[in-house]
Each structure stands twice: as structure tokens, then as C-alpha cells.
Amino acid sequence: MKEKVVSINKNKIPEIDSLGFMCKQLESFPNLERKVLQLRLGLGEPFEILHTIDEIAEILNESKETIEKNFATGMKRMSDICNQERIKQENEDTHNEIRLQMHNRVIKKLRSLKEEWKLDNISQVTERIMLAFFKNDI
């Protein structure tokens, strides 16, 4: 019987797709970039109100070219941050998946030894293994 391995993070909602994550990242952006992205992407107060480049230029009293430049650099910066976070999460998920698979193999082996050695529980198997492993150190 082959056991199905279920990912630890099976139902995990990725942080990088949330508005909260993006708003938190914007805090570290240069002031003008932050304001432009908040207005253009609807991340400022009130949320979900999207502004055009022309509206943003008028609101911030900046030239359209300055707004476009800051929007482009801000989007590039946000894209880089999101890509780094995505890679980090993928690496963590992979590491957790490997740990889970190793854990499942160990449990399966302990259960097998329990049956083979005709013991009552896995704790007795673990105790026997520990005693054998540390027999010269105890």
C-alpha cells in the first residue's frame, strides 16, 4: 500500500498575492514612487480607487513624465520583490515537503519494525533503537 504524501502547506494562501503584502512593501519605497503606485493601483486610502497617470500628475502636482517614470521604476521594484518572495516561498515549500516525506518514511519504518519485532507501540521501537545506538555511551 503506497501512502499519499500531503504537503504541509497544502491550503496555504500565498502572501505575495495579498494587498497587505504589497502595502507593506510599499512602505520602503521612495516617497513619490510609493504615492504613484498607491494611486495607480488603488492601494492608498480609500482602497480600490484607481487613478490614471494624468489624474496622478494633477493630484501630486508633478509632470506626466515624472509620474510615468516613477510608476515604471516602482512596478519594476515591486516585481523584483514579489519574484524574490515567490522564490523564497517555493524553496521553503520544497524544504517542508522533503521534511514531510522523510517524516512519513521514518514513521512507516518504525511501524514496520513494531510489527516485525512484535512490540506494543512505536515508543518501544524507538527505545530499542536508541539503546542500540548509544549502547557504548550509556
Residue 138 lies in a domain: no
Q: Is residue 103 part of a domain?
A: yes
The arithmetic mean of pLDDT across residues 94-103, rounded, is: 93
1 lies in some domain: no
Task: Tell me the average pLDDT across 53-73.
Answer: 96
Reference 32, options 12, 62, 53, 2; nearest CA is: 62
- Choice between 137 and 91, residue whose per-residue pLDDT is larger: 91
In a domain, 30, yes or no: yes
For the segment 9-52, what is each residue's pLDDT rounded down to a tens digit? 555 655 566 788 888 999 999 999 999 999 999 887 766 789 99
User: Does 73 reside within a domain?
Assistant: yes
125 domain residue, yes or no: yes
Residue range(s) defining the domain that contains residue 128: 15-133
What's the number of domains the chain is made of? 1
pLDDT of residue 10: 56
In a domain, 98, yes or no: yes
Q: Which residue is listed with cell 500628475?
A: 57
Output the pTM of the full model.
0.65
Separation of alpha carbons 133 and 11, rounded Å: 39
- Residue 85 belongs to some domain of the structure: yes
Task: Report the half-sphere exposure of 42 (CA within 13 A, side-chain side).
Answer: 5
Angle between helices 31-41 and 53-60 (to 10 degrees): 140
